[in-house]
Structure 1
């Protein structure tokens, strides 16, 4: 699944509410981001 997120100039990431709820992050939390090479 690909999801577009918004990164603010100060580095904060904004996820859509439905995704935050699905991931159990409705009240905040931590998210691990894995960087992969694009072909």
Structure 2
């Protein structure tokens, strides 16, 4: 569940700072989180 912290952090940075890099990081880590959630038994 360590990825959830990344998602919260990047979402917060995206909302507060409005830099496109944080949105890209958030989308990337959301995909990784979703894949690991689906694959994990």
Higher helix residue share: 2
Rg larger for: 1
TM range (shorter): under 0.3
Higher relative CO (CA 8 A, sep ≥ 6), structure 1 or 2?
A: 2
